Structure 1
Amino acid sequence: MEELIYPVLVEFSTLILLVVIGISLFLLGKGADILVSEAVSLSLRWGVPKMIVGATIVSLGTTLPEASVSVLAAIKGNPDLALGNAIGSIIANTGLIIGIAALIGTLTIDKDTIKRQGKYQLLSGVLLAVVSLPFFSKGPNGIITQKMGFIFVILLIIYIYGSIRYAKKYNGDISTEFTEEENPVLLQLIKLVLGIALVIISSKILIPSVEIIALRGGIPQGVIAATLVAFGTSLPELVTAITAVRKGHGDLAIGNIIGADILNVLFVVGSAAAVTKKGLIVPSTFYKLQIPTMLIILVAFHIFAKNKDSIITKLEGVFLVGIYTTYLILNYIWI
């Protein structure tokens, strides 16, 4: 998609690009608004916890940018970009997005759901770290093989199926009574898909537009790659989380991030590894910064999610954002 969009945008003047950015931001916000509203409505209709809806339906939609970028990178022979995008997105999701959401609103935790989904989130990160070790590849670099990619995809299917079964058995206090005036389920699903499409398409237009303006302003390409590309694929999760928190659905935001982290491992890394015979080569630098940061931030979130108040506090949000900021700074120092 970027190959079609970029050549068109680069011909625009800076003024027109600014207008494009404004429209993209509007559509991004509108898409996130529709996405959150319909996801909450469906969760109420089906009696499913909002955190479960966020961890499956919503996160599948918002993780598509990471999956498309990583799969295309793997096909084009850039496996480090594919893996870096997935790991970087987990760090951005759990550090930056959860941190910001905690600072601007109340992030409530569903204890029963966090025990299940949060466990899978942490286990997914540990699994990715383990299979990335050089020990399994008999060389200086780790390799996530094509076979392992298929195993990840199988685990993804099991995860989604298990989440749906768990949701059906959930006996919460969510009201499932709807009046006849409620929109039909099919219409709600169409709106949900429309919201996801708006979020993804607008982000695909927004990022290259900002990149072109940055290049015209003399900002180094390396700075753009280290910030916009990594942040860009997590933009749908960020907008969705902020919108959910502002609407008072912090548990949906938490569920979205937990699900996105799991899918970044099983869906993004899995599909990227599965499409290349040589697998995904893990750069040696990843063992110094990317993988340790991913594990630290996942463990921190897991601890915060189990506090007695059942919320992610603002202080904890500051800590998560601080870890992410430190990660960005160290990326520049260790170039």
Structure 2
Amino acid sequence: MMELNTLSLPVLLLVFTVAAAVIWVAGVHLSKSVDILSRHFHLGQALGGVILLAVVTNLPEIAITVSAALKGNLDMAVGNILGGIALQTVVLMFLDAFVLGKKGALTFMASSMSLILESIVLVMILILVVIGHQLPDSLSVFHISPASFAILLVWIFSLILVDKAGKGLPWKKENLSQNGSAKDKQSSQNKKAGKHIGKTVFIFVLCSLFTLFAGVTLESSGDAIAQHFHMNGLIFGATVLALATSLPEISTGAAAIKLGDYELAISDILGGNAFLPVLFLVASVIAKKSALPEAQPADIYLTGVAILLTLIYCIGLIFRSKKQCLRMGMDSLAVFLIYLLSIAGLFFIAS
């Protein structure tokens, strides 16, 4: 994608817009297919979001990380992984205000203990990122930091926990609405989805490929556009570029909300954010150098911001407040304001 730097600004803007449109359309179909696949394979909404949707919507980040690691550019790989996590959390605010709107606060509509568990696991993983950054290279095994191994283990274990939580927790009251007609309706939906599972898998794979290639194109064209405007790389990466690479999450989240699958919309974001630090291990193996120590002060700063924003939504999921302000839940409003302040802080770090 390096040849994009030679294109004129109007052409770059066109490429950027087309790539964004492709990602948006693919995201709508991905959300629908994941909803069907989750029911067909009995994954549950949260686990489906963690395994399928979260990984697929991060395909652009995976490709960019691998490409940067192959070039030995671990700074770019680490920045790509950590730079977008905070903004992807802010995507929940966007979905709350502009997609769900006056229907209610997103954390009120999505009542699930699995989501609280996912947010706690995400905070654990991000704390491991901060710890791993402080560890010396001498502790690395096969160029991999102990923290990277720990992140992978925590992520895998979280899949087991989310699956277990989705099947019911000992203290949770049984939802009577799932008995009788509701169960019959769910069974009917599963049978109907099973008849076209082959087609659904094909759509899922095809849209995943479109998301991958369009996402990489979006990142490359966005970087070239930033160079045209001589924008600060750190600020651009944490705002405009992070927003661009978050389009898959926005698209799939919006589609999930329109389907009434609020849990899947949130799980996609939380699951994707928890998955991204797993790529540190991949980057380290490819570059033959531990990736975590390469994190810059701005990366660790944004990791701390991501922890704070995640905990705010965790509290929102626990209290499930109906209160709204500016068409969004109070937790989303807090997330929006704190993120704006954190971006202001980036200017001091970049200077």
Smaller-chain TM-score bracket: 0.7 to 0.9
1:166, distance to aligned residue in structure 2 (A): 6.0
Per the alignment, do residues 308 and 70 of structure 1 end up closer, same or farther by CA in structure 2, a change over 3 Å counting? same
Aligned position for 1:295: 307
Per the alignment, do residues 24 and 315 of structure 1 end up closer, same or farther by CA in structure 2, a change over 3 Å counting? same
1:74, distance to aligned residue in structure 2 (A): 3.2
Q: What is the RMSD computed on CA atoms of the aligned residues?
A: 3.3
Unaligned runs of 5+ in 1: none
Contact 1:82 1:272 in 2 (8 A): yes
Aligned position for 2:73: 78
1:264, distance to aligned residue in structure 2 (A): 1.4
Residue 97 of structure 1 pairs with residue 91 of structure 2: yes
1:160, distance to aligned residue in structure 2 (A): 4.0
Aligned position for 2:280: 269
Aligned position for 1:323: 338
Aligned position for 2:122: 121
Match of 2:187 among 157, 176, 188: 176
Residue 193 of structure 1 pairs with residue 187 of structure 2: no
Q: Residues of 2 paired with 1:162 and 1:186: CA distance?
A: 29
Q: Residues of 2 paired with 1:60 and 1:311: CA distance?
A: 32
Residue 52 of structure 1 pairs with residue 51 of structure 2: no
Per the alignment, do residues 22 and 93 of structure 1 end up closer, same or farther by CA in structure 2, a change over 3 Å counting? closer
1:260, distance to aligned residue in structure 2 (A): 0.7
Aligned position for 2:136: 137
Per the alignment, do residues 203 and 288 of structure 1 end up closer, same or farther by CA in structure 2, a change over 3 Å counting? closer
2:187 partner SS: coil
Q: How high is the sequence identity, in percent, across the aligned residues?
A: 18
More helix by share: 2
Contact 2:137 2:290 in 1 (8 A): no
1:14, distance to aligned residue in structure 2 (A): 4.1
1:272, distance to aligned residue in structure 2 (A): 1.9
1:191, distance to aligned residue in structure 2 (A): 0.9
Partner deviation per Cα, 1:278-306 (whole Å, 9 max, x = no partner): 30224462587233223222222221221
The farther-off stretch of 239-248 and 316-325 is: 239-248
Unaligned runs of 5+ in 2: none
Q: Return the TM-score normalized by structure 2.
A: 0.78
Aligned position for 1:88: 83
Residue 285 of structure 1 pairs with residue 305 of structure 2: no
The farther-off stretch of 272-281 and 167-176 is: 167-176
Aligned position for 2:31: 36
Q: Residues of 2 paired with 1:181 and 1:295: CA distance?
A: 37
Aligned position for 1:65: 60
Q: How many equivalent residue pairs?
A: 324
Q: Residues of 2 paired with 1:181 and 1:208: CA distance?
A: 38
1:311, distance to aligned residue in structure 2 (A): 9.6
Counterpart of 2:93, as a letter, is G
Q: Return the TM-score normalized by structure 1.
A: 0.81
